[in-house]
Amino acid sequence: MSELNWKTILNFAENGNPEPDQRVEKSEAEWEKQLSEEAFYVTRKHGTERPFSGEHCHSFGPGRYGCVCCGALLFDASEKFESGTGWPSFTQPVKENAIRYKVDRSFGMVRVETLCNSCDAHLGHVFPDGPKPTGLRYCMNSVALEKLED
């Protein structure tokens, strides 16, 4: 995968995202039964967890992270960094089509929302203030991620 950049992210958000490798469709009741109350609120209702509260916030060991809803692979720990924001932050997803991007105009701001491209779970947002070389900061809700077994 070539590195994503802010221009590419904005293009996806405004003009359409790459097709996912797979789609996972469930009813709201099925998601609610499967997920913890907080994970359901964040991923299915587009909520946000409290900063510095998530289990993945201060964890920097090797591994891979998937969507807590459908298990789709999203990030590798090698792209994780300490952003100081209180949420797990990554510079790049594992694949160009792992994340879906959507312009978010809520709360009087314009941001780019990140969703799992397989099941539409709300993950967080991406910002153009990350470290080089990508300059991206994928600011994720810890509760939206699960550490995958290798």
Q: List, by residue number, the catalytic residues.
A: 139
As a whole number of angstroms, the distance between CA 75 and CA 44 comes to 20
Say how far residue 109 (Cα) sits from the centre of its chain.
19
The answer to whether the beta carbons of residues 116 and 69 sit under 8 Å apart is: yes
**Strand ranges for 8-144 from DSSP E:** 64-67, 73-76, 80-81, 89-90, 99-104, 111-116, 122-127, 137-140
